[in-house]
Every structure is written in C-alpha cells, then in structure tokens.
Amino acid sequence: MALRSAPHVPTKGMAHYGLRPSIRAPLPGCDAAARRSDSLVSYLMIVSREELEGSLADIVRNVRDPRAGILGPESIAWRVGGDLAIFLGGGRAALLQLAHPMVAYAIDHHSKTRADVLGRFQRTFRHIFAMVFGELDDALHAARRVHQIHTRIHGEIPTTIGAWRAGTPYHANDADALRWVHATLVDTTIAVRLRLGATLSRSDLDQYTIEMNRFAGLFGIPRALLPGSWADHERYMTEMLASDRIAVAPVAREMATFLIGRSGGPQPPLGRLTELLAAQMLPPHLADAFGLVASPRAVAAGLATFAPIYNRLPARLVAIPAQVDAGRRIAGRPPSRVAAWTERQLFGLTGRVTGK
C-alpha cells in the first residue's frame, strides 16, 4: 500500500496538512475533529513544502541578527547545548527515537547507518549544527535539504507493535514523528545537564523550551504541537512514555545492539560506556526492552568523579566545534583549525562506539 497524496483537512490551531487515514493510536495534541473517535484510526500529518516555507518565514521574521542564526550566543540553548558533554546523552536520545515504531522502521528501511556509520553521523550532525549554530541562510538551507530527503522516506510498518498495526503507513515528514524526535533531543540535553550538576531554574527551562521551538520550526512542526513551557514538555513526555505508542520493535532492538557495539565481536569500551549511560538515563522499562545491561553504581560513581572536573574546564576547551566557529564568525574571525581537528576526532569516535 503506497503512501499517496491526500486531501487537505483543516484542523484547529494549525496549518492545513495533507492527511491520510492510517490505523494508529490517536495523536497527542491533535484536534479531536481530525480523527475518528470510534476506533484507533487517525491520520498522518505530513508537513508539505508549503507548510515548511511558512514555518521558515515565521522564523526569519523573528531573527535579529542573521549572522547569529536562529538562536545566537545569548540564548540558553547555546549555553546548555553547546559543549561536548551533550554527547554523553547520544545513546539515550537515539534509543528514545528508535522506541517510536514509525522512526525505527523508517531508519531500518531507508538508512545506511549499518553500512556507513561515520558518514551517517557526519551528515546528521552537519545538518543539526548548521541549524543550531549556523548563519540564518545556513539553517534555512539545511532545513530545506532535510525536508527534501524526508520526502523520499515513507512506507509501512510491517508488523503490529504496541498501538501500531501492521500496514500502518509512516513518513519521515509526519509532524507527530518529528515532534517526538525533537522532544527526545530537548529532553536528553536537559537530562545530561542535570546529571552533571547544572543549576537550571524553572524560568531557564521554560526559556530553553521556547527557544528550541525555533529549531522545531525548521522541520515545519506546527506550533499547535509544540510545548509552551517546560511543564508542557514534561507532560508530553510522560504521556508518550506511558502509552503504547512508544514500543520497542524487534528492528529497534537490533539497531540498538549495533549502536552500542554488541552486534558481533567484543564490545568496544566506548560502546559499553554508551550502553551504561543509556541504561541509566532511559526509563527502566525501555532499558529493559532494549536489553541494555546496566550498572547504576558504576555510572553514579563515574559521573560523581567526572562532573566536578568537567565543570571546571574552560569553556573554550569543551565547546562544540560548531559553536566555536559560530562565535568566531560573529566576531568577524575565520574558522578555527583546532575546531576543525576536534570535529574530525569527534566524528571518528562513532566507529569506536559501534566497533564498525
């Protein structure tokens, strides 16, 4: 059953989206008028290029300095997500995303991650870094590029898993799936910061949530689906994690095994570290579903030793290379060769995690 274009159906509080019936659980935040109340039939909300361009136009109107991009050095988003520590949450974020069957099967059917781990990692983060730290034009270009790539990623969930029945269509530009991926990044960044002892007020968390909605806008996620506060975000995460919309499919568990270096041969030390951190930071039921081997005492002791040392390091030593170059660009300076070297080393770690 191929995914086809569908008529536009108006929904309250959001732009018109191409909607196609699909057998799936009702979407949190989706207006009741846009779904069937007598069954689990709901709709894909595929973000069209027209809706994306409308979202990008809203972002452009609210950017004060195009050189600083959509966020800029004064943002909380740069402060909490601009250093190398965020990669401690890489395993957690990836597995949370894979726990959404639409995401898992889209990656399984269309991604070349297993064959080209380094290339996949580089492409993904170059797009993300351009969106978060790039000039406005770079962010917009990356947004359009990612959206175009996503238009080719669609198919069907082949087996029933959780609330998702066999034959349910998926699409990489589905607003609900995009919302989940975005939420996992927001949630994981804060989870890492708190694990490292950061002090973030409720006002900080609210501001961070609102700032990151600009990042969500680069994917065309409608405002009606985005949180207006950290409490809204927490509510959404709690609801999703407690529902059967989040369910670890066999392909998700298989990919998780690959990502932590347990798909064959001895597990690399960095793969084991990634597994330990993910097991500690994921909800227990998901860690169990992915078959992660945990060691809570070892992780707690390791973080207790690591955090005070890391937090005393100068910002220039731990900044993400993309943020370093962004700061230099805004100051009228050329890119840093040291940052470029650091980025190459960072990308090279992917093979040392998976063993591939």
**From CA 141, how far away is CA 136, in angstroms rounded?**
9
In whole numbers, what is the pLDDT of the chain averaged over residues? 86
**pLDDT of 8-31, one tens digit each?**
222 333 333 333 333 333 333 333
Give the global pTM: 0.87
Cβ distance 153 to 47 under 8 Å?
no
> By C-alpha distance, which of 3, 347, 31, 350 is closest to 150?
3
Q: Is the pLDDT of residue 64 over 60?
A: yes
pLDDT confidence of 34, banded at 50, 70, 90?
very low
Greatest C-alpha distance within the chain: 61
pLDDT at residue 90 in the model: 92
> What confidence tier does 116 reach under pLDDT thresholds 50, 70, 90?
low
Give me the sign of the Cα torsion angle 33, 39, 45, 46: negative
Q: Name residue 41's beta-bridge partners.
A: 23
Which residues, including other chains, have CB under 8 Å from residue 107's CB and lie 6 or more apart?
98, 113, 255
For residue 166, give both structure tokens: 């066999």
CA distances from 71 to 60, 67, 216, 223 (A): 11, 10, 12, 17
Burial of 344: CB neighbours in 10 Å, binned 0-12, 13-18, 19+ = exposed
pLDDT in tens, 291-317: 999 999 999 999 999 999 999 999 888
Distance CA 39, CA 223 (A): 26
Domain boundaries, the chain: 48-354
Band of residue 206 on the pLDDT scale cut at 50, 70, 90: very high
Q: In which band, very low, low, confident or very high, does the pLDDT at 111 lie, cut at 50, 70 and 90?
A: confident
The CA-to-CA distance between both ends of the chain, in Å, stands at 35
Query: For residue 138, how many C-alpha atoms fall within 13 Å in the half-sphere facing its CB?
Result: 19
